[in-house]
Structure formats: C-alpha cells, structure tokens
C-alpha cells in the first residue's frame, strides 16, 4: 500500500524495558510483527500490555530497548500518519457531534478514508449526529474505533478495544475489524479475553509479569503448554488430596465433579484410579487455551504453591 | 485548519461560559459606572478607567479558557489520543491561542460600546491602540491558562482559573479601587501585567503608549511563563 509497508519491515520491538519506581512493568520484550499480521497481546491485568503498547506508539519512553515501526522510530511513524490507536482511556472529545469528531481526526492524517465510509463500517452512522458526551458505552467504543480508523493508518493498535462491551457489541466490533484487516493492515490488540485472541488473531503473544511467555498461533500455544485435564465424578474426596497426586497441577471441585489440570495426564490418571477406585465418568480432554494461559502465566511463580489458591 | 475551526466551535458551544465572559463584565460595568459617569479616578474619567478594567476582566477569563478545555481533554484521555496523530503540538497551541483571542475580542468590543454609551469618547486611533495594548497585555494570561490546564486536576481547575483571574484583577486595580498608590505593595502591583492592562485606557489618552516599564513587565512574565508551560506540557504528556 504505502512505501513503508512495501519494504516489509513491520514492527520491531527489541529489548524493551520499563520500570515505574520499583515495579518492573516490562522487562525485556523482543517482538517482530510482519506487515499485515494481526497479533493479540494476551495477558492478565498488570502483565505489561498497556505499557508495551504505549511504548510502541511513543507515549511512554522505554528505559531500555528500541521500537521501530515500518523502519522508523514511533514519533516519525506517528507524524507521518502510519499509526492509528484506540487507547484504553480515550473517551471522545466534548462539545462535538460524532461525525464532527471523526472528521476532525480525519483532518490530521495525510490520506484519510471518507468519513461516511468509516461511520458505516464501525456502525457509528446510526448516531452520527449525536453529541459525543451522550453516548452509551458501546456507542463510545464505536466512535473511538472510527477515530482510530479514519486516518487509514497502516498500523492499528487497540488496547483492550472491547473492555466493558456486551457480547453483541463485541461481535459487531470484530466483524468490523475483519472488514478492516482485509485491507492489509497490521493490527496489534491487547486483550484479556482468551476467546478474542483465539478467534481473531493470526498469532498470540502471551505476556505475564512484563515478559513474553509464549508466542505463536493459538494451536501452537495450546500444544506448548501441553495442558490436559481430567474430569471425573468423585464425591467426598478432599481437593488437597487430589492436588497431591502425581502429574496433577491443580484440582477443583464442582459439587460431585472434580477437575484436575495436569502436567502429565497419563501419570495422573493411573494415580487417580489407584487412589480412588470409585471415580466414575472419567474424561481426559486436550488443553483449552484457558488452561494453557493459566499454566504459562503462572509458570515461574512456584506453580505448586498456586494449587490451593486455584482450588478455592 | 479543521482543527482550528473545531477549536472555535467547541469554544462557542460552551454557551454558558461564553455568556459569562461576555455578560459578567458588562453587568458589572453598568452596575458600577452608571452612577459615576462624571467621577474621576486617579486623574482619569471613571467610565474610561472602569470600561478598560472590565474589558480586561472579561478578556482575562476568555484567554485562560483554553486551560479549561485542555484539562477536560486531558482528563478524558484525549490529549494522549492527539499525541498519536500527525497533529503537531504547535498547531494545536496556535489553534488554542487563536480561539482564546477570538473569544476575547467580542468582550473588548462589547465593553467599548458600553463605555461609549456612558460617554467615553476616544478617537478611532485611540480605540485601536487601546484594543492593541490589551491584546498584547493578555499574552501572559493565555500562557497561564495553558500551564494550569496541564497541571491542575480538572475538578479543581475552575477554582484555579477563577482564583488566578480574580487575584490578578484585584491587585491590578480591576475592581474600581487600587490597593495602594505607593510603597512596597504598589511596587508589587506594578509588577503585574493586569496593572498595566488596566492603565491602558489612561495611557492611550496621554499618548505615547505604555512606559518602558509596562513592556518590560509583560515581556518578563511571558519569558518566565513560557518555559514553565513547556515543562507542564511535557510533564502531563509523560504522565497522563
């Protein structure tokens, strides 16, 4: 599309680190994102996703490391209109109508999309004449999306774009996103919704405690974690006793049913049947992304110590 | 250009604020000056003095107004959003300054008309000179608006802006009396841009414009305040 994307440089983060006082928010992030790729930054709250995104757009200066966007520093990429972003905090400007706000954003960019097209794609056309201060949460989110999109940036950064939005609103949002990414944009979005990362990203970058703990397509991440779980009906057995079985990482009880998250499901199954022959309705299932997520984000935090907490 | 247009639009749409910057000084002017049409004040006809004072009062409110908008935009996270668009900070500043002056201008015109209705008579060149001096003398207040907008939390901002304007107005002699005419307090007053703004009416009649002292005071305020404003901008940018 533009000269910068033709060079195939994409987005490059190298050795990125940032501390706030004693808190090391981001500790050494290396990431290369190819042009046209849709990447999810997935992680729990406080993992360093927002700090990483802020450094990518130049809002926060890294303590260490470098960011390059299409071969240039963030400030230059922003100045030339290559970057559009939907930040977590940006609520729309007041004393303006929706259409005016989007037109205002368009005026900042060298080659904006037609305002009406963007309003239609994002579904903001239904309330284009409304004051920006009189919008519902879902409407405000569409407006912010429209504002990020209207400059037709090559790189679109979305920090928890669907936080606080109902299910229908989320589905509409991602439908609109699909329409946009078909135009060959590079998209990076932060989320703590696993299903969003699973469904909409080409690639998931899992972040925990300021570090990348896994990076790859959703299927690969599931495999990497190797988590499998065992479900069984087993009344009256202490969760702590189940957690202590070989191969079991954590155990939960839901009424008569127990759920064992396993590091080694084969060993766990043998041990379970040996210790509790009364176990019935046994199912062994492949790890879900959720389990992979929990395993990978908990790794290094004394996974064993987590057992009792997870069981609660 | 679009940014500038919307900056004006947003200012105008804050109708209540607009009404107050225009209306309050006008009401005060008629309320106080009607009964004192033929009085003199420190050697100046009272209506001329008070017309200038009230024009300054209203215009001070008008030019600190961008501060209120900056604080609101900041609290809504919009300043961060702006910083990741190609819009240059200096374009934004220029638009805000222009909007501030566009808001101040009607206040001046309105007060001049009110003054004329109570017998203030000046030659055309004197009216223009007076307007010119006021617009220049307001520069420090424009910068103060920016500083407060970047530093003060939005819920304390109205009080901060109002407080700054009232203090400068009081010590500048805007309210129809001077706190001192000699001594250390008077020296302090002469160090304020608002004092020289209020004196502009008298200055114009005397001919020859402001004394060098007035220019130095106003220039000094601007020279000191601009780096503070730059610091405040950077601070809010790195934090917010």
pLDDT band of A149, cuts 50, 70, 90: very high
Please tell me the distance in Å from A84's CA to the nearest CA on chain B: 7
Q: What is the mean pLDDT of residues A133-147?
A: 89
For chain A, the structural domain boundaries read 3-222, 224-311
Inter-chain touch A108–B13, beta carbons under 8 Å? no
Percent of chain B with pLDDT over 70: 98
CA torsion angle for B224, B230, B234, B240 (degrees, to 10)? 90
Q: Which CATH number does A3-222 carry?
A: 3.40.50.300
Please tell me the distance in Å from A89's CA to the nearest CA on chain B: 5
Residues of B numbered 40-79 whose beta carbons fall under 8 angstroms of chain A's beta carbons: which are they? 72-73, 76-78
Inter-chain touch B6–A110, beta carbons under 8 Å? no
Are B236 and B157 in contact by the 8 Å Cβ rule? The answer is no
- Tell me, yes or no, if B92 comes closer than 8 A to chain A by beta carbon: no
Question: How many angstroms separate the Cα of B119 from the Cα of each of A111, A171, A249?
Answer: 56, 69, 91
Q: What is the pLDDT of residues A197-212, one digit of tens each?
A: 888 899 999 998 899 9
Measured CA to CA, the distance from residue B37 to residue B27 in angstroms comes to 15
Local structure of residue A303 (DSSP, 8 states): G
Look up tokens 């305020």; give the residue.
B221
Are A122 and A142 in contact by the 8 Å Cβ rule? The answer is yes
CA torsion angle for A61, A67, A70, A71 (degrees, to 10)? 110
Look up tokens 């414009």; give the residue.
B209
pLDDT at A83: 94
Q: Is the pTM of this model over 0.80?
A: no
Could you tell me which residues come within 8 angstroms of residue B76 by beta carbon, excluding any fewer than 6 positions away?
A89, A90, A91, A92, A93, A94
Please tell me the distance in Å from B3's CA to the nearest CA on chain A: 6
Nearest-10 crossing angle of helices B154-172, B46-75: 160
Q: Which residues of A touch B73 (CB under 8 A)?
A: 93
Q: What is the pLDDT of residues A215-272, one digit of tens each?
A: 988 877 776 666 678 889 988 888 888 888 888 888 888 888 998 888 788 888 999 9
Q: Which residue of A has its CA nearest to B6?
A: A104
Residues of A numbered 69-98 whose beta carbons fall under 8 angstroms of chain B's beta carbons: which are they? 78-81, 83-85, 87-96
Measured CA to CA, the distance from residue A52 to residue A68 in angstroms comes to 13
Q: What is the mean pLDDT of residues A122-126?
A: 91
Are A78 and B89 in contact by the 8 Å Cβ rule? The answer is no
Q: What is the pLDDT of residues B78-93, one digit of tens each?
A: 888 888 999 998 899 9
The minimal CB distance from B86 to the residues A85, A104, A108 is found for A108
Q: Residues A125-145, buried b or exposed e (16+ Cβ, 10 A)?
A: bebbebbbeebeebbbbbbbb
Give ipTM to 2 decimals. Answer: 0.82
Q: Which of B84, B234, B240 to mutate to test the interface with A (most CBs of A within 10 A)?
A: B84
Measured CA to CA, the distance from residue B194 to residue B174 in angstroms comes to 8
Strand partners, A23: A20
Measured CA to CA, the distance from residue A158 to residue A170 in angstroms comes to 13
Given a cut of 80, whether residue B95 has pLDDT beyond it is yes
Q: What is the mean pLDDT of residues A93-121?
A: 93
| Strand order across the A64-69 sheet | A23-33, A11-20, A64-69
Tell me the CB-side half-sphere exposure of residue A243, using CA atoms within 13 A.
17
Q: What is the pLDDT of residues A229-240, one digit of tens each?
A: 888 998 888 888
Q: Which residues of B touch A61 (CB under 8 A)?
A: 238
pLDDT at B240: 45
Q: What is the pLDDT of residues A268-310, one digit of tens each?
A: 899 999 988 888 899 887 766 776 777 777 764 543 343 334 4
pLDDT band of A90, cuts 50, 70, 90: low
Measured CA to CA, the distance from residue A245 to residue A239 in angstroms comes to 10
Are B67 and B148 in contact by the 8 Å Cβ rule? The answer is yes
Please tell me the distance in Å from B9's CA to the nearest CA on chain A: 8
Are A287 and A293 in contact by the 8 Å Cβ rule? The answer is no
Q: What is the pLDDT of residues B155-188, one digit of tens each?
A: 899 899 999 999 999 999 888 888 888 889 999 9
Top CATH class of A224-311 equals alpha beta
Given a cut of 90, whether residue A183 has pLDDT beyond it is no
Token duo for residue A73: 């520093």
Local structure of residue A134 (DSSP, 8 states): G
Measuring CA to CA, which residue among A110, A8, A27, A24 is closest to residue A68?
A8
Look up tokens 């078909």; give the residue.
A182
Given a cut of 60, whether residue A311 has pLDDT beyond it is no
Measured CA to CA, the distance from residue A180 to residue A7 in angstroms comes to 21
Measuring CA to CA, which residue among A76, A37, A33, A72 is closest to residue A52?
A33
Inter-chain touch A80–B81, beta carbons under 8 Å? no
Q: Which residue of A has its CA nearest to B85?
A: A78
Average pLDDT, chain A: 85
Average pLDDT, chain B: 89
For chain B, the structural domain boundaries read 2-239
Token duo for residue B210: 């402001």
Given a cut of 60, whether residue B130 has pLDDT beyond it is yes
Q: Give the containing element (helix H, strand E) for A67.
A: strand A64-69
Inter-chain touch B84–A91, beta carbons under 8 Å? no
pLDDT at A255: 87
pLDDT at A227: 63
């Amino acid at each position: 599309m533009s000269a910068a994307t033709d060079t195939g440089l994409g987005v490059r983060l190298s050795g990125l680190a940032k501390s706030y006082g004693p808190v090391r928010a981001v500790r050494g992030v290396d990431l290369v994102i190819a042009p046209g790729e849709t990447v999810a930054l997935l992680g729990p709250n406080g993992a360093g996703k927002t700090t990483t995104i802020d450094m990518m757009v130049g809002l926060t200066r890294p303590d260490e490391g470098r960011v390059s966007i299409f071969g240039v520093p963030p400030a230059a990429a922003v100045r030339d209109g290559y970057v559009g972003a939907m930040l977590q905090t940006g609520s729309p400007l007041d004393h303006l109508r929706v259409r005016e706000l989007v037109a205002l954003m368009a005026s900042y960019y060298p080659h904006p999309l037609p305002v009406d097209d963007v309003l239609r794609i994002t579904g903001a056309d239904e309330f284009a004449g409304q004051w920006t201060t009189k919008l519902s949460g879902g409407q405000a989110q569409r407006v912010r999306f429209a504002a990020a999109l209207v400059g037709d940036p090559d790189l679109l950064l979305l920090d928890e774009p669907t936080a606080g939005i109902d299910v229908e609103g989320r589905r509409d949002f991602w439908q609109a996103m699909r329409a946009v990414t078909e135009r060959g944009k590079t998209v990076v979005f932060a989320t703590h919704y696993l299903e969003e990362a699973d469904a909409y990203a080409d690639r998931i970058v899992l972040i925990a405690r300021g570090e990348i703990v896994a990076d790859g397509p959703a299927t690969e991440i599931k495999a990497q974690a190797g988590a499998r779980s065992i479900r069984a009906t087993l009344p009256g057995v202490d969760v702590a006793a189940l957690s202590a079985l070989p191969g079991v990482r954590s155990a939960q009880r839901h009424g008569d049913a127990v759920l064992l998250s396993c590091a080694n499901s084969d060993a766990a199954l043998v041990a379970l049947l040996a210790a509790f022959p009364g176990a019935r309705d046994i199912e062994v299932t492949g790890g879900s992304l959720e389990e992979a997520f929990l395993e990978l984000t908990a790794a290094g935090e004394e996974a064993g110590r987590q057992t009792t907490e997870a069981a609660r | 250009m679009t940014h500038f247009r919307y900056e004006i639009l947003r200012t105008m749409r804050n109708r209540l604020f607009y009404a107050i910057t225009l209306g309050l000084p006008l009401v005060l002017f008629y309320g106080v000056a009607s009964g004192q049409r033929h009085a003199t004040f420190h050697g100046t006809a009272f209506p001329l003095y008070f017309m200038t004072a009230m024009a300054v009062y209203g215009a001070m409110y008008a030019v600190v107004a961008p501060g209120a908008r900056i604080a609101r935009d900041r609290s809504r996270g919009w300043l961060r959003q702006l910083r990741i668009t190609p819009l240059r900070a200096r374009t934004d500043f220029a638009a805000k300054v222009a909007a501030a002056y566009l808001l101040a201008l009607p206040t001046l015109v309105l007060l001049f008309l009110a003054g004329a209705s109570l017998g203030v008579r000046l030659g055309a060149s004197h009216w223009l000179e007076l307007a010119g001096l006021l617009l220049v003398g307001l520069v420090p207040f424009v910068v103060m608006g920016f500083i407060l907008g970047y530093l003060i939390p939005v819920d304390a901002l109205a009080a901060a802006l109002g407080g700054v304007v009232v203090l400068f107005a009081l010590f500048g002699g805007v309210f129809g009396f001077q706190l001192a005419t000699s001594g250390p307090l008077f020296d302090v007053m002469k160090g304020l841009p608002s004092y020289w703004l209020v004196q502009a009416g008298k200055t114009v009649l005397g001919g020859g414009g402001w004394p060098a002292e007035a220019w130095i005071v106003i220039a000094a305020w601007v020279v000191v305040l601009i780096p503070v404003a730059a610091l405040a901008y950077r601070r809010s940018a790195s934090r917010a």
